[in-house]
């Protein structure tokens, strides 16, 4: 048995969709590769406000409401700038931002769309609150005598 050099340094092997505080969707390189999505695709965003589910459908057919997928480098993932979507739907990306490892691949017809194809559906979830450190929890005032002036 021979040793083999590991060459995929810095690569991500996990498929996920993320939401950033900058109101974009992130698509990991592994997600793009697994589903054969490239810059020629457009993303159609669907939203169910009652269940807080977002669906992303990727199409090569230049859909009327399609959003460009930006992939600046073939080694990395892509982004979908969706500021107007998050603003119009009043989705606070500071609350719902983060990585969504779990998604469902659902036929569009199950989402009420007559077109043929699939969409990737995530369910929004609130971020866990930031843990409070002992320093932040300390109500004592700062001791200036410890600073050498």
Tokens (6 digits) for 63: 């859909």
Residue pair 58/37 in contact (Cβ under 8 Å)? The answer is yes
Q: Model confidence over 34-54: pLDDT tens digits?
A: 999 999 999 999 999 999 999
* Beta carbons of 2 and 80 less than 8 angstroms apart: no
pLDDT, average across residues 13-26: 94
- Whether the predicted pLDDT of 149 surpasses 80: no
In whole angstroms, what is the distance from residue 73 CA to residue 83 CA? 22
Beta sheet of 24-27, edge-to-edge order? 78-81, 24-27, 17-19, 98-100
Which of 65, 56, 51, 48 is closest to 16 using CA atoms? Answer: 56
Token pair in block for residue 138: 């300390």
Q: What is the mean pLDDT of the chain?
A: 89
pLDDT at 28: 95
Q: What is the mean pLDDT of residues 113-140?
A: 80
Predicted pLDDT at 4: 84
69, 80 Cβ separation under 8 angstroms: yes
User: According to the model, what pLDDT value does residue 6 have?
Assistant: 78
Q: What is the mean pLDDT of residues 60-88?
A: 94
Taking alpha carbons only, the member of 5, 115, 111, 107 closest to residue 54 is 111
3-state class of 57 per DSSP?
Answer: strand
pLDDT exceeds cutoff 60 at 86: yes
User: What Cα–Cα distance (Å) separates residue 18 from each residue in 6, 54, 97, 101, 124?
Assistant: 27, 11, 7, 8, 11
Residue 138 has pLDDT above 60, yes or no: no
């Amino acid at each position: 048995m021979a040793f083999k050099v590991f060459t995929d340094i810095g690569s991500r092997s996990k498929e996920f969709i993320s939401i950033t505080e900058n109101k974009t969707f992130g698509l990991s390189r592994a997600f793009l590769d697994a589903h054969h999505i490239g810059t020629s695709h457009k993303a159609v965003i669907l939203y169910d406000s009652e269940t807080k589910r977002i669906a992303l459908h990727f199409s090569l057919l230049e859909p009327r409401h399609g959003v460009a997928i930006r992939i600046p480098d073939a080694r990395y993932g892509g982004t979908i700038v969706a500021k107007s979507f998050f603003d119009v739907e009043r989705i606070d990306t500071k609350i719902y931002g983060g990585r969504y490892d779990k998604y469902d691949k659902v036929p569009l017809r199950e989402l009420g769309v007559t077109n043929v194809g699939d969409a990737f559906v995530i369910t929004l979830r609130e971020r866990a609150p930031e843990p409070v450190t002992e320093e932040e929890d300390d109500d004592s005032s700062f001791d200036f005598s410890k600073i050498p002036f």
